[in-house]
Structure 1
Amino acid sequence: MGLRPGALDAAERLGRPVIAVVDTPPGRTTAARLAAVVEAPFEEVLDHVDAIAALDPAAVVGLAERAVVPAAHLREALGHPGCALDTAVRCSDKRAMKRAVRAAGLRCADVVEAEEGLSGADLADRLGLPMVLKAAVGSGGRGTRVVRDAADVPDRLPGGWMAESFVEGVEMSVETLVVDGRTVFVNPTAYLEPAWASLAPAPLSAADLDAVRVHAEAARVALGVTTGMTHLELFLTPDGPVFGELAIRPPGGHLMRLIEQAYAFDPWEAVLRVALGEPVDVPTQAGRVAAVQILHPGEGTVLAADGLEEARSLPGVEAVSLRVRPGDAVGPRVGTGQEIGHVIVTGATAEEAQARLAEATAAIRVEVAA
C-alpha cells in the first residue's frame, strides 16, 4: 500500500510479484509490472479484505504515510505479522506520538491540541513566539508554518491541528531498520537545508552521534516499534536531542537513495525482506557520503531549463533529474515531495560531497516567469 518505485524495483529483483492496493489507478507502465491491482480508498480497505485475501499475499507493507494505518488494519484482518495497529496509530497521529514520548521522559516540544480550545492569546502565553502550527496527521510539511508575530496567531486552531513551541536547534533525521525488536541499522542524516538538501551519513561528533543513537532507540521503544523502517526527525540542541516526529515507513526526499549510495546496499530490499520475515544483512558503517538537492524554482511558467548534461559530467554525480522544459507550468511547492528534479552526488567526505552538490546544482539552470 502506498506503492513507491524503489519498492517495486526491489520486489522485482527479489523475484516477488507485487499486489498493489491503490486509491488511484496506476499508470499503464506501472500496472504492467504488477501481479494484481486492488482499487480501494485506503480508509475503506477492510471492505475489500476478502478480495485481497483471495490473492494470498505473503506480506502487507505500508510504504507511504497515509498507508501506514490502513496497512496495519489489513495486516490485522489477514493475521499477518508486522507493525501493530496501535503502534501504527501512535506513529501517524502527532498528538498521540508526542504524548507517548513525553511519558517516556524524552525531551519534546510543548504541544497544544486544537481540542483544548485555547484562544490565540492563550496559545501565545502557553507556547511563546515563535510557535509552529501543523496538521496532527500528515507528512511532508504540508501546511506547516512558523508564526513569529502575535498578530498572525489564529483565534482558534482548526480541528485536527496542533501548535508546538519552537525548538532552537539543528534539525536532522535518523533512519533505522528494526527486526524482531532489535535495531540492526542506524543512519543519521544531516539536513543541509531542511526540505531541500540532505547528506548521509551526517558528520556528527562522537558525542553527538552517541546521543542521537540513544535518543532514536528510546523513541522507538516509547512508540512500540518492533519491526520495520523508521524515520525520526529531531533537533540537536546544546542540551542534547529534542524529539520531533517519528514515521514508521521508509523516508522520502530521496533519502533511500542516499542510504544506498553511502552504505552500498539496497534499503528497499531490506524493508521487503523484513516484512517477509526473511533474514537481512545490512552494513553498520558507510563507505562514503551521499547528498541530494531537491530542485523547484517556484510557481510559474518555465522559460528555460538546461544544464542537465553539464551536471551529469561532473565528478561524483550519481543522478540528475530535470522533468520540465520551456512552456511547462510549475505549481507551488506545498510539501517536500514536490519537485521538478533533483541532484544526487557522492564523495569521500562530507565536505567533498557538499562541494560536489553545490557545483552540480549550480550547473542546472531553470528560469520561470511568475
Structure 2
Amino acid sequence: MRSPVVTVGLRAGALDAAERLGRPVVAVVEKAPGPKASARLAGVVVAPFDPEAEPWESVAAAVRAHEPAAVVALTERSVPPAAHLAAALGLPGLPAEAAHRCSDKRAMKRAARAAGIPCADVVEAEDGLRGDEIVERLGLPLVLKSAVGSGSRGTVVVRDAAEVPPALPPGWMAESFVDGVEMSVESFVVDGEAVWISPTQYLEPAWSSLVPAPLPASDREAALGLAEAARVALGVTRGMTHAELFLTPSGPVFGELAARPPGGHLMPLIHHAYGADPWEAVLRLACGEAPGMPAEPSRAAAVRLFHPGPGTVVAAEGADAAQAMPGVEVCSLRVGPGDAVGTREGTGQEVGHVLVTAETAAEAEARLAAAVDAIRVEVDRRGG
C-alpha cells in the first residue's frame, strides 16, 4: 500500500485519480461527506477552514498517524488551510504567504502591481472611499467583487454610478473594468519552474471553454509569459495553477491566479485534449513525482454548461440525441420536469453539461454548437 495523500477539500476527480494510483485518501473537510464518499476514504477529519495557522496543529495531529506523503488543496477555500497543514506536518507545500496572496484578491493585486504586471486598478473597502470617489478613481464601468471567493460568485459589473454603493462592504473591492477577451492559462509547477503550461479559450466566459486555445503565436507567447510572471510574483513554487487574464489590443492584462485545480470542467477538457489525466498529475506532483503530462495536445476539447435560471423545470430533453452525435464524449442533464432550479450565483452551478472532442479547435466548436442545439432546458419562472 502506498502512502496516503491528505486532500483539503474533496473533489470526485481527485478521489478517482488517487484510487487509480493506489493512493489512499485522508480528507480534511468542513462538512462530513456522504456515506458513499466516506466509504472510499482512509480517513475523514472535519474542521473549519480557518485561515490562521494555529488550529491546523490539531488537524495535523489527527492525520499524522496515517503517515501521509503529501497535502493537496482542491478548492479555493482550502488553499491557505492546506499550506498551514503541510507546514504543521513537515511536508512540502505552498508557503503560507503565497497561499494568502493566491486567496485574497487584494493581496494578489498588490503583489501583481508591485511586480509591474498589467492589471486592473483596485479600490479596497479598507480605503474608505465613498461611492462617488470610487467612480472618480476607477471610472465606469467598474467591477464589484468579494476579495475572497471563486467562480465569479457575487461579482457584478456596474455601468451606472447610481448602482455603486455609498461605501464598499467589509471584505469587498472594486476594480476598473478591463475591456478584453477573457481566457485562462493552466500550469504544473515543480521547484519554482513551470514544467507544463496550456492556454484555455473562454468561448463564452462562465459558460463554455476550449482546450487548447487556438491563439496566434504572438498572443500565445504573451499570454503564457504574463501568467508565468504573475505566478512568480505571487510566490507559487509548486502545484497546479489556474491564471485568468484578458487579451487586449495593448497586450494581456492579469486577472486572477488560483493555486489549485480549476473548475468549470477544465480538468476533463485537459484530459481529453492531452490524453493524460491532470488529476493524476496533481497527485503525482504533490508526492514528489513527475506530473507526466504530454507537452503537446493530441486534439481539441470543448465544453458547455447548462443552467436555465431560476424556476421550475418544464422540459429537459435532447441529452440522448446529443450523446449520439460525432465527438460528444459526455452529455448530462441532472434535472427533469418538476425540479426546482435556483439562481446561478457562480460558475460552479449547472444543471448539466456537454463535452466534445475533435481534431481541430474549429471542428470542436462546430460539434459543440450542434450538441447544444439538440438540448432543451426550459423553466417556468412564476414563483421561481
Cα distance in structure 2, aligned partners of 1:79 and 1:46: 11
Given the alignment of the two structures, is residue 295 of structure 1 paired with residue 302 of structure 2, yes or no?
no
For residue 229 of structure 2, the aligned residue among 207, 218, 221 is 218
Q: How does 1:129-144 map to 2 (within 5 A)?
A: 129-144=140-155
Q: Which residue of 2 aligns with 1:67?
A: 78
Cα distance in structure 2, aligned partners of 1:246 and 1:108: 12
Cα distance in structure 1, aligned partners of 2:379 and 2:46: 37
For residue 100 of structure 2, the aligned residue among 89, 104, 109 is 89
Given the alignment of the two structures, is residue 37 of structure 1 paired with residue 50 of structure 2, yes or no?
no
Q: Which residue of 2 aligns with 1:279?
A: 290
SS of the aligned residue for 2:245 comes to strand
State TM-score, norm by structure 2.
0.95
Shift of 1:40: 1.4
Q: Which residue of 2 aligns with 1:12?
A: 19
Shift of 1:55: 2.3
Shift of 1:258: 0.4
Amino acid in the other structure paired with 1:38: V
Amino acid in the other structure paired with 2:137: R
User: How many residue pairs were aligned?
Assistant: 370
Q: Which residue of 1 aligns with 2:375?
A: 364
Shift of 1:49: 2.4
Given the alignment of the two structures, is residue 259 of structure 1 paired with residue 259 of structure 2, yes or no?
no
What are structure 2's unaligned runs of at least 5 residues? Answer: 1-7
Amino acid in the other structure paired with 2:191: D
SS of the aligned residue for 1:287 comes to coil
SS of the aligned residue for 1:174 comes to strand
User: Do the aligned partners of 2:142 and 2:174 also contact (CA within 8 Å) in 1?
Assistant: yes
Cα distance in structure 2, aligned partners of 1:66 and 1:360: 34
For residue 180 of structure 2, the aligned residue among 158, 162, 169 is 169
Moved over 3 A (4+): 44-47
User: Do the aligned partners of 2:59 and 2:85 also contact (CA within 8 Å) in 1?
Assistant: no
Q: Which residue of 2 aligns with 1:202?
A: 213
Amino acid in the other structure paired with 1:53: R
User: Do the aligned partners of 2:146 and 2:173 also contact (CA within 8 Å) in 1?
Assistant: yes
Shift of 1:286: 1.0
SS of the aligned residue for 1:65 comes to coil
User: Do the aligned partners of 2:328 and 2:371 also contact (CA within 8 Å) in 1?
Assistant: yes
Q: Which residue of 1 aligns with 2:353?
A: 342
Structure 1 window deviating more from structure 2 (218-227 vs 50-59): it is 50-59
> Identity rate of aligned residues, in percent?
67
Cα distance in structure 2, aligned partners of 1:46 and 1:169: 44
Shift of 1:321: 1.2
Cα distance in structure 1, aligned partners of 2:56 and 2:208: 35
CA shift digits 1:1-51 (9 cap, x unpaired): 111100000000000000011111111111111111111112154433211
State TM-score, norm by structure 1.
0.99
Shift of 1:118: 0.2
Q: Which residue of 2 aligns with 1:47?
A: 58
Amino acid in the other structure paired with 2:152: G
Q: Which residue of 1 aligns with 2:32?
A: 25
Cα distance in structure 2, aligned partners of 1:246 and 1:211: 16
Amino acid in the other structure paired with 2:47: A
Amino acid in the other structure paired with 1:11: A
The two structures, once aligned, show a CA RMSD in angstroms of: 0.9
Given the alignment of the two structures, is residue 247 of structure 1 paired with residue 254 of structure 2, yes or no?
no
What are structure 1's unaligned runs of at least 5 residues? Answer: none
User: Do the aligned partners of 2:189 and 2:237 also contact (CA within 8 Å) in 1?
Assistant: yes
SS of the aligned residue for 1:91 comes to helix
Cα distance in structure 2, aligned partners of 1:48 and 1:258: 34
